[in-house]
With several copies, the nearest count.
Chain A
Amino acid sequence: MRDSPPVVVRLVYLARLREALGSAGESLALPPGAPARVATVLETLRARGGAFAAELGPGRAVRVAVNHAMAQADDAVGEGDEVALFPPVTGG
């Protein structure tokens, strides 16, 4: 039995996070194995070190939306989902 292909999500970085990471977004292949969740995305990015580890690390407030709906760490993510990372909102 072959491994299933990795889940690939589209990442969107917004506001301060876009500036700090120097990118508006990218495609990310999640590690195969365990079911992919929002936490998986964050862990995968943090493992890169550098600005990713700093901006998404402990004590940094990061909000996540999956397919345009606010999401929590243990919400599932699936193939082709749009996963947006951003700081707490400040509109109004």
Chain B
Amino acid sequence: MSPDAADRAADVRVQAADFDVAAEIAALRAGDARVGAVATFVGTVRDVSEGAGVATLTLEHYPGMTEKSLQAIVDEAKRRFDVYGVRVVHRVGELAPADQIVLVAVTSAHRGDAFDACRFVMDYLKTQAPFWKKEATPQGARWVEARASDDAAAQRWRR
């Protein structure tokens, strides 16, 4: 595997296990002292959704497409913004309220590109990556509906 391929292989991960934000940031920075800015986003399970209590949240995905789709988003972020590293970790399976769902971390020389790339990846992930949430509530299980605001957020980056 070429060094480039090794780099890219570490960009995205889909896993049932939890992740450690500090460890992920440290691995992404890897002692690179060109880095001046690290922007990070963590999505977490809320205990209320559309007014109903949430007992568990189950994340289904499309194995085979998921990593490719996330990698395509990361590649596009690297093309658009002046960043050194981008890392996406997305969990699947059954989660509880307050659990971590997704991590996006970006390193750059400057904060503007780090913030932009981090937000870009989240906005695209929300509309392009094949994950689906199913909530268990006191009223029964239900699939989470996609939100128009997520489409609008991704649309803002079109050009």
Contact = CB atoms under 8 A, between A and B. Distances in A.
Interface in A35-92: 61, 65, 68-70, 82, 84, 86-92
B62 A65 contact: yes
Interface of B: 43, 59-62, 64-65, 68-69, 90, 101-102, 111, 122, 125-134, 143-146
A65 B102 CA distance: 23
Majority SS of interface residues in chain B?
mixed
Nearest to A12: B62
B39 to A, nearest CB: 13
Given A70-B128, A91-B126, A91-B131, A84 B62 contact: yes
Contacts of B127: 88-89
Contacts of A69: 65, 68
Contacts, number: 75
A83 to B, nearest CB: 12
Given A15-B60, A91-B102, A68 B143 contact: no
Contacts of A16: 132, 143
Nearest to A19: B143
Contacts of A87: 132, 143, 146
A14 interface: yes
Q: Which 9 residue pairs are nearest across A and B when measured between Cβ atoms? A: A91-B131, A88-B146, A15-B132, A68-B65, A16-B143, A92-B126, A90-B144, A90-B133, A92-B125
Given A14-B60, A16-B143, A91 B132 contact: yes
> Most chain-A Cβ atoms within 10 A of its Cβ — which of B64, B69, B132?
B132
Contacts of A65: 62, 65, 130
B143 A91 contact: no
A86 B130 CA distance: 9
A14 B62 contact: yes
Nearest to B141: A19
Nearest to B144: A90
14 contacts: A14-B62, A16-B132, A61-B146, A68-B64, A70-B128, A88-B145, A89-B129, A89-B130, A89-B132, A90-B131, A90-B143, A90-B145, A91-B59, A92-B90
